[in-house]
Amino acid sequence: EPEVTQTPSHQVTQMGQEVILRCVPISNHLYFYWYRQILGQKVEFLVSFYNNEISEKSEIFDDQFSVERPDGSNFTLKIRSTKLEDSAMYFCAGRERPYEQYFGPGTRLTVT
Amino acid sequence: KQEVTQIPAALSVPEGENLVLNCSFTDSAIYNLQWFRQDPGKGLTSLLLIQSSQREQTSGRLNASLDKSSGRSTLYIAASQPGDSATYLCAANNAGKSTFGDGTTLTVKP
């Protein structure tokens, strides 16, 4: 069964550094999402992406964040200048139309 | 804005018990509702998906029901086992994006 993959599984970075989290969605999916989960808190929506543009973003998704689908397969989340509070698990998800969302295994980001 | 609440926050039961986890949501215009399992420090494992037109879905010992008009879903776990110990999350999907509850942390004691 096809699955969503994310790399790396764990990223440690210093405050102020840029990070890029990568996701490879299932090939026939059209809609893509990033969510994050700060340790001990609920999973929160960050951004949705369709047809090569952002369709919706939350208030968390400020100018420090950007998303891209550079080559038609990878889907990336970039954080330009990481803060301590960006430490979280980041999940990528995808779907076909109004169907089930398939989530990746997550990338744990630790900002020191 | 969709809000999802899960009750109880934590539940501890002896092995073999049947149990019910509750999820409520404020905006009934959902595409679907999904139940997930999350083990500590791990990702999200999808358990069941109920489309907005459906009333329930079953997988093995799990049964999820959906009452869209009242904004409620329940996850029923039959004959619980220690391996069921985890956090169970429900997520209501509106226009694509999912809104998650805080989860119910289940402990099944041998």
How far, in Å, CA of A58 to CA of A45, rounded? 7
Query: Does B47 contact A at CB distance below 8 Å?
Result: no
User: What per-residue confidence (pLDDT) applies to A98?
Assistant: 66
- The pLDDT tens digits for A9-22 are 999 999 999 999 99
User: What per-residue confidence (pLDDT) applies to A97?
Assistant: 73
Kindly provide the b/e burial profile for residues B40-53, where b requires at least 16 CB atoms within 10 angstroms of the residue's own CB: eeebbeebbbbbbe
Residues of A in contact with B32 (CB under 8 A): 98-100
Sign of CA dihedral A51, B100, B51, B25: negative
- The pLDDT tens digits for B2-48 are 999 999 999 999 999 999 999 999 999 999 999 999 999 889 999 99
Task: Give me the residues of A, 13-52, that contact B with CB < 8 A.
Answer: 31, 33, 35, 42-45, 48
Place of tokens 């956090």: B87
Cβ atoms B36, B47 nearer than 8 A: yes
Query: Does A7 contact B at CB distance below 8 Å?
Result: no
What integer best gives the mean pLDDT of chain A? 93
Q: Average the pLDDT over B96-106 and give the result.
A: 94
B34 and A95 within 8 Å at the Cβ level: the answer is no
User: What per-residue confidence (pLDDT) applies to A105?
Assistant: 94
How far, in Å, CA of B29 to CA of A66, rounded? 29
Token reading at A84: 């301590």
Q: What is the DSSP letter of A11?
A: E
Residues of A in contact with B93 (CB under 8 A): 98, 101
Residues of A in contact with B36 (CB under 8 A): 103
User: What per-residue confidence (pLDDT) applies to A106?
Assistant: 96
SS3 track for A48-90: EEECCEEEEECCCCCCCEEEECCCCCCEEEEECCCCHHHCEEE
- The pLDDT tens digits for A15-59 are 999 999 999 999 889 899 999 999 999 999 999 999 889 999 999
What integer best gives the mean pLDDT of chain B? 95
Alpha carbon of A40: minimum distance to chain B alpha carbons (Å): 9
Query: Does A57 contact B at CB distance below 8 Å?
Result: no
Alpha carbon of B10: minimum distance to chain A alpha carbons (Å): 13
How far, in Å, CA of B92 to CA of A44, rounded? 12
Q: Average the pLDDT over B72-95 and give the result.
A: 96
